[in-house]
Structure 1
Amino acid sequence: MQNFDYDLQSLQETRNLARQAKLAQTELAKFNSEQIDKIICNMVKAAEENAVSLAKLAVEETGFGKVEDKTFKNQFASTELYKFIKPMQTIGVIKDDPVNKIVEIAEPVGLLMGIIPSTNPTSTVIYKSIIAMKTRNGIVFSPHPSALKCTLQAARLMNDAAVAAGAPANIIGCISKPTKVATDELMKCDEVAMIIATGGSAMVKAAYSAGKPALGVGPGNVPSYIERTANVAKAVKNIITSKTFDYGTICASEQAVIVEECMRDQVMEEFKRQGGYFMTPEETNRVAKKLFVRGHAMNAKLVGRSPAVIAESAGITIPPGTKVLLGEQQGVGEGYPLSYEKLTTVLAFYTVKNWEEACDLCIKLLNNGGVGHSLSIHTENPEMAMKFAEKPVFRILVNTPSTHGGVGVSTGLAPAFTLGCGTWGGSATSDNVTPMHLINKKRVAYGIKECAENAATTSYSACSAESGISEDQLMNVVNEVISLLKKRGDH
C-alpha cells in the first residue's frame, strides 16, 4: 500500500510541476533578449558559487568520480557554456535574407523534459537549465534515483537564480519523488513539448517512443587508435588524462586502445611509465567479472571508480599510484568483456598489424555499442585522420583527450553534455546539443518569382513554338501515346 501511495504522490507531483512550468514558460516567451541574458548571468553566477558544494554532494551521493573534476564540469557547464552561447540569436528576428526575401523569427519550443544521468547529474542540470532559458523554454527534470539529492539541489539553485533575476516562478522544476510512473507521465503529458534525454540506452529509447520530439544520446564505447606516426608520449598522456577525468564517467571517454605491432612495445612501456597497469589474463578476467552484471550491464558499484577500488573489489594487487588498468583483448563481443563500454578507469588493449586492420576493429567496437558517437585517433598524418573520418561516428577527435574533445573543452566543438549520435546511433541529431536545437523557426517569405496563369499551357506553347508543331498536333501525339499505353495495360 505504501508503494502505491508513493506512486500516486509522485504522479501528482509530476503533473503539478508540468502545469506550473508550462504556465511560467508562457510568460517567459514574452521576454526580450536583455531580460533573458540577465537571467542567465545570474544562473551562471549561482553555478560558479556552488560548483564545489554541488560536486561534493554528487560524489557523496553517487560514489562516482572526483570532486575536483565534477567542480570543473559544473563550471564548464555554466561559465564556458555562457561564453559560447552569448552571441547566439534565439529571440525575435534571427535572420533577414534580402536576396531571397525571407525573414526568420525564433520561437521557443515550449516546456522541455530533461532526463538526468547519475554519472554527471549536477553539470547536466546546469547545462540544460541554461540552454532552456536562452531559448525561453521551461524545463522539468527527471532525476536518476541514485542522484536525487544533488540533482534536486542543482535544479533548485538554477530555478532560484532565474526567478531572482526576473524569471517567472517554477520555470525550472524537478521531480522529488522519482518513479517509473512519474517519468512516463512527464514524457507523455500534454504540457511537455520536447524531451532532452541523457542517460542509459533504455531511458533514451523510452524518450523516443513517447510520441513527441526528443533529443537523446546513445552509449560511447570510444575506440582510440594510436597510429604509427603519432607522438606516443603525448598520445598516452592524452588518453590517461581523459580516462582519469572524473574516473571515466563521461560517455566520450576512451574505452579501447588500438596499436600497431610495430609500436606495441613502445606504447606499452609509455603507459607503464605514465601510470598504466597491464593486467594478466587472469587479472583481466577477475576485473571483468566485477565490472559487469546481467551480461554487459555496467556494475554501478564500479562506475566512476579509481583503479585501487576496482583492484580491491576484484582481489588483485596493483602498484601504488596506478592511474588506469589495461586488459588485452583478442576480439569483440561475447567472450571479450572489455570490448563493451566501461565508464570507469579500465581500458581494453588491442594490437593490430596495420591501419586497415585498425579500421576494421574500430568499426566492430563501435557496432558493439557506440555507433554514431565518437572515435579518437592520434596521428601526425592528416590523410590518416581523414581516412578514419569515414568511420560510422560523428566526432572524430584527433590528438586530444577524447573526453575533453567530445564535450568541447579541448576542441572547437560546442560545449555540451548531450552529444547526439545521429540516425546511426538512434538519435535525432548528430550535433553537440546547443540552444539552436531548442527553437522553432518561423519564416516570413515574400514572392520573388512570377507564376504563369496556366503553367501547363505555357509549357506546351513554348514547346510548340520552338519545334514548329502546332498545339493541336502535339495534343494528338499525346493522345495516341496514352491510347497505346492503355491497350498494353489491357493485355
Structure 2
Amino acid sequence: MLHDADLVSVQEVREKVDKAYAAWQTYKNFTQEQIDAVVEAVAAKGRAHARRLAELAVRETGMGNVEDKYAKNMLCSDTLLRAIRGMKTVGVLRELPEQKITEVGVPQGVVAAICPTTNPTSTVFFKTIIALKSGNAIVLSPHPRARECTCAAAALLAEAAAEAGAPPDIIQCATNSTLEGTQALMKHPKTGVILATGGAGMVRAAYSSGKPAFGVGPGNVPVLLDVSANLAQAVARIVSGKSFDFGTVCSSEQTVVAERGLRDRMLAEFKARKAYILNDQERAAVERTLFSSGTTVRADCVGKSPQTIAQLAGITIPADAAILVAEIQGVGREHPLSAEKLSPVLALLFVDSFEAGLDACEAILKFGGLGHTCVIHAGDESKVRRFGLRMPAFRVLVNTASPQGSVGITTNVQPSMTLGCGAIAGNITSDNVGPQHLINIKRIAWAVRDPEPAPGQPAGLNIDKAALVAAVERYLAQRGVNVSGATLSAAVAAALPAQAPVVAPAPKPPLHGAVAGAVDRFLAAKQAQATASVEPPSAPSCGCGIKPAEPTSAVPAAPAAPAQIPAPKIEIVPFVCEADVREAIAKKKKIFIGPKTIVTPSARDLAGPDEILVRAER
C-alpha cells in the first residue's frame, strides 16, 4: 500500500484519467442533442447548490465572501449556459455550399483542469460545463487548500451528468492532489488538452508539458478615469469592482490613473463610497504587510477583507470600509502598490494630462499585466478609441466595473473564468475561453478548380493546340521534314490529355521536353514506315543542287520506340549565296551549314530574320 503523498497522487491521477478516457469513448459519439441535455442537467445542479458551495469555499479557503462567490457560481451555471445554449460543437457545424466545404466539430479528449484556491467552485462549474459542451471528458485537479469544496462541486456535477445519460466516469476529480500529481495529469498520454488556472509557475508547467494548453497570465489592471467621465458613477463602479470577492478575480482594478485636477473631487467620492484613504504612514505599513520579495503578495493577505489586512498592518479602519485606497507617485518596483494586489487594496496615481495617463496605464500593464485587461471611464468616445487602440491588453472595458465586465456579467464578452492574454503574455489565445476552444474542426472540401501547372513543367493543362501545332511545325522544319497541318493536329491531339482546357495563345511558346518527345516518337514511327517500303525517302535538297552527303550521326529515338531509328538525312552545303537563301525562303526550306561552309555576308543578312540557316555537325 502506498503511503507517500506524491506517489498516491500520481497513481490516483492515472486511474482517473483512464476512467475518463474510457467514458469518453462513448461520450464522443453523443449527438449535439444528447450533449446539450447533459450540459443543461449539470448546470441546473450547479445553480441549485451555488450558495452552499460558495459558503463551503469561503469556510475552507478563508478567501473572498459568500455573496460574491455565489455570484461567480451563478455566472458559470446560468449566464454561461445561456451564452452557449444553441452553440454547435460536435458533428456538422456548418455547410458552406458556395465554397463546397463542410465543417465538422471533433472533441479533443480528456481535459486536464487545474483549479485555483481563489475561485475553487466557480472554476469547477465553468471548466466542467465547457468541457462537456464540447464533447470532452474532464479530470479536475484541486488546489490543496481548496480540496474539499472543489471535490464537492465536482461530485454534484458528476451525479447530474450520469442522471442525464452521460457515462458515469465522464467527470473525475483527484482527491489527493499534489504538485507531482498535477504534473502527471498534464503529461498523461491520454490527456488531450489542459485548462490551467493558477500561478505563473503552474501556467509555465502547463505550456511545457508537451500538451495543448490554455493558461492565462496575471492581471495588473489600470483604470483611466478621464475628465469627461461621470465622476460619481465611475468611482462607484471602481469600488464595486475592487471590493468584488475581496479582489480575488485576476481582472480586479489595481491602479486608478487620473488628471490632478480631479484629485480632490475623486477623494471625496471614494470616501462617500466607504473607501478608506490611507495616509503615507499607513500606506507604508500596508505595503510591508501585503508584499514579500518585492511585489509578491503574501498568501495570508490574498482575498482577505480590508479589515483583516488593516489589522495585519497594525492600523484601525471603520468596520464598514469597503476597500483601502493609497496614493502612489509612480509605477515599478519602487512603488509596490502599482503591482497586482489580489486584495481590496487600490492605488491612485495622478498625472498632468490625458497623454500622461495613457503612458502610465501602458506602464502598469507592462509591470505584470500584459495582455490581460484595462478599463477607461469616459464620455469622450474619441479618447476611448485612442485608449483602446494603444493599450497592450485584450479586454478594454468602458464604463464598467472591471471584474464584472471582463467575465461577461456587465458586458457581452464570452462569459468565462479563463481570460487569455495573447502572445504578448505567452498565452495561446487572447480570448475569453469557451467550448469553441476545446474542439478541433475537420473540413470536408470538394475540388472546385484544376491546379495551375508549375512554371516550366510540361503539364497537359492550359496548352493552346494551335500554338502547339505551330511550334511542332517549326521543330520539324528545323530537321527538314514537311508534314501536313492535319497530320500534325492529329498527332498533337493524341499526345495531349483529353479535355485539356484552352487558354489564349502565347506568342511562340517554348517547345517543352514532353512535346519534343512526342514529336520524336512521331518521326520514329514515320521512319519505320519508310524503312519498310521498297524505296527509301529521298533526302531534302538545298538550293545549290549539290548532292547530299551521308550523315554520320542520327537523332536518337524516344525511349518508347522498340529500337533506335535514324532521323531523316540532312545535307550540309559547302557554299551559300543570296540566291540560295531566296530560293529556300520561297520553298519554305532550311539550309544546313557546317563549320567549313562559306556563307556570303548578303546571304547571312537575308537569312537571319527567318532562321533559314541551320548549323549542323557532320
Please state which band the TM-score falls in when normalised by the shorter chain: over 0.9
Change (3 A) 1:260 1:467: same
Partner of 1:448: 448
Superposed CA offset, 1:267-307 (max 9, x none): 11111111112111111111111111233221121111221
Aligned residue type for 1:471? P
Task: Give TM-score, length-normalised by structure 2.
Answer: 0.74
2:427 pairs with 1:427 = yes
Partner of 1:403: 403
Change (3 A) 1:102 1:274: same
Counterpart-to-counterpart distance in 2, 1:436 and 1:295: 39
Partner of 1:260: 259
Partner of 1:116: 115
Counterpart-to-counterpart distance in 1, 2:139 and 2:332: 38
Change (3 A) 1:284 1:454: closer
Contact kept? 1:58, 1:147, Cα under 8 Å = yes
Partner of 1:481: none
Change (3 A) 1:263 1:450: same
Displacement of 1:466: 7.1
Contact kept? 1:460, 1:471, Cα under 8 Å = no
Partner of 1:418: 418
Displacement of 1:218: 0.7
Partner of 1:377: 376
Change (3 A) 1:347 1:81: same
Aligned residue type for 1:402? S
Bigger relative contact order (CA 8 A; separation at least 6): 1
Displacement of 1:470: 4.4
2:350 pairs with 1:351 = yes
Displacement of 1:403: 0.6
Counterpart-to-counterpart distance in 1, 2:336 and 2:108: 42
Counterpart-to-counterpart distance in 2, 1:384 and 1:52: 41
Counterpart-to-counterpart distance in 2, 1:312 and 1:110: 48
Unpaired runs of 5+ residues, structure 2, are 472-503, 513-618
Superposed CA offset, 1:310-353 (max 9, x none): 11111112234211111111122222110110111101110011
Which of residues 449, 456, 471 is equivalent to 2:510? Answer: 471
Partner of 2:26: 27
Contact kept? 1:461, 1:471, Cα under 8 Å = no
Post-superposition, which runs of at least 4 consecutive aligned residues in structure 1 deviate over 3 A?
Answer: 452-470
Counterpart-to-counterpart distance in 2, 1:393 and 1:247: 23
Contact kept? 2:376, 2:399, Cα under 8 Å = yes
2:214 is paired with a residue of what secondary structure? strand
Counterpart-to-counterpart distance in 2, 1:116 and 1:416: 14
Contact kept? 2:373, 2:393, Cα under 8 Å = yes
2:249 is paired with a residue of what secondary structure? coil
Partner of 2:91: 92
Where do 1:142-181 residues align within 5 Å?
142-181=141-180
Superposed CA offset, 1:440-473 (max 9, x none): 1111000001235666457997999777454269
Counterpart-to-counterpart distance in 1, 2:265 and 2:55: 39
Contact kept? 2:294, 2:336, Cα under 8 Å = no
Counterpart-to-counterpart distance in 2, 1:360 and 1:466: 62
Contact kept? 2:295, 2:333, Cα under 8 Å = no
Where do 1:25-104 residues align within 5 Å?
25-104=24-103
Aligned residue type for 1:225? L
Counterpart-to-counterpart distance in 2, 1:470 and 1:454: 16
Counterpart-to-counterpart distance in 2, 1:149 and 1:358: 44
1:471 is paired with a residue of what secondary structure? coil
Counterpart-to-counterpart distance in 2, 1:162 and 1:294: 45
Task: Give TM-score, length-normalised by structure 1.
Answer: 0.93
Counterpart-to-counterpart distance in 2, 1:426 and 1:133: 27
Partner of 2:438: 438
Aligned residue type for 1:72? A
Aligned residue type for 1:393? A
1:70 is paired with a residue of what secondary structure? helix
Where do 1:184-195 residues align within 5 Å?
184-195=183-194
Unpaired runs of 5+ residues, structure 1, are 474-491
1:412 is paired with a residue of what secondary structure? coil
Superposed CA offset, 1:121-179 (max 9, x none): 10010011001110110011111111111111111111111111111111111111111
Counterpart-to-counterpart distance in 1, 2:451 and 2:316: 80
Change (3 A) 1:403 1:454: closer
Counterpart-to-counterpart distance in 2, 1:278 and 1:420: 33
Contact kept? 1:244, 1:345, Cα under 8 Å = yes
Aligned residue type for 2:413? L
Change (3 A) 1:205 1:468: same
2:228 is paired with a residue of what secondary structure? coil
Q: What is the root-mean-square deviation of aligned Cα atoms in Å?
A: 1.9
Counterpart-to-counterpart distance in 2, 1:185 and 1:212: 12
Counterpart-to-counterpart distance in 2, 1:455 and 1:160: 63
Whose radius of gyration is greater, 1 or 2? Answer: 2
- Identity within the alignment, %: 44
